[in-house]
């Protein structure tokens, strides 16, 4: 698991290769990632938007941006966590992702960006 803290918000990521949804012969590799967002600050915050940069091992990069995460814009009180699972498909057996969440402090409406730490997606047989 990899983690990063920005302005009192901790983001942790775990990845897993999904061989049952992948087709290596067709250059289609599917990964899931589990994100845990923890409010370690003293103010209630809401996740408004996400922005991802996805790098494929073949040198291709793409960006994904949108509202919330998996259809939600969670509000986290101090000490609360929100966890979700999402997925990514690659054209190669390794790649990486990183990005940011746009958060808003409820008390004063101040918006700020929270870093999502860069994480690798690697098919297990590439590690041998």
Domain count, the chain: 1
Answer whether residue 127 is part of any domain: no
Write the CATH number for 12: 2.60.40.1470
What whole-number percentage of the chain has pLDDT above 70?
98
Answer whether residue 71 is part of any domain: yes
pLDDT in tens, 6-60: 999 999 999 999 999 999 999 999 999 999 999 999 999 999 999 999 999 988 9
- Could you tell me the pLDDT band of residue 125, with boundaries at 50, 70 and 90? confident
Taking the C-alpha atoms of residue 56 and residue 73, their distance in angstroms, rounded to an integer, is 28
Answer whether residue 128 is part of any domain: no
Other CB atoms closer than 10 Å to residue 60's CB: what's the count? 12
Answer whether residue 126 is part of any domain: no
Asked whether the beta carbons of 110 and 102 are under 8 A apart, the reply is: no
CA dihedral 90, 117, 50, 75 (to 10 degrees): 130
The boundaries of the domain holding residue 31 are 2-119
Answer whether residue 31 is part of any domain: yes
pTM of the full structure: 0.92
């Amino acid at each position: 698991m990899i983690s990063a803290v920005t302005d009192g918000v901790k983001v942790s990521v775990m990845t897993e290769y999904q061989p049952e949804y992948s087709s290596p012969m067709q250059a289609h590799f599917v990964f899931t990632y589990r994100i845990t967002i923890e409010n370690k600050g003293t103010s209630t915050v809401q996740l408004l938007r996400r922005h991802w940069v996805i790098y494929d091992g073949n040198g291709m990069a793409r960006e994904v941006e949108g509202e919330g995460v998996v259809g939600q814009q969670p509000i986290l009180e101090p000490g609360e966590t929100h966890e979700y699972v999402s997925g990514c498909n690659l054209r190669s057996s390794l790649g990486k992702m990183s990005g940011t969440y746009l958060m808003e402090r409820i008390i004063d409406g101040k918006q700020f960006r929270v870093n999502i730490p860069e994480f690798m997606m690697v098919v297990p047989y590439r590690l041998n």
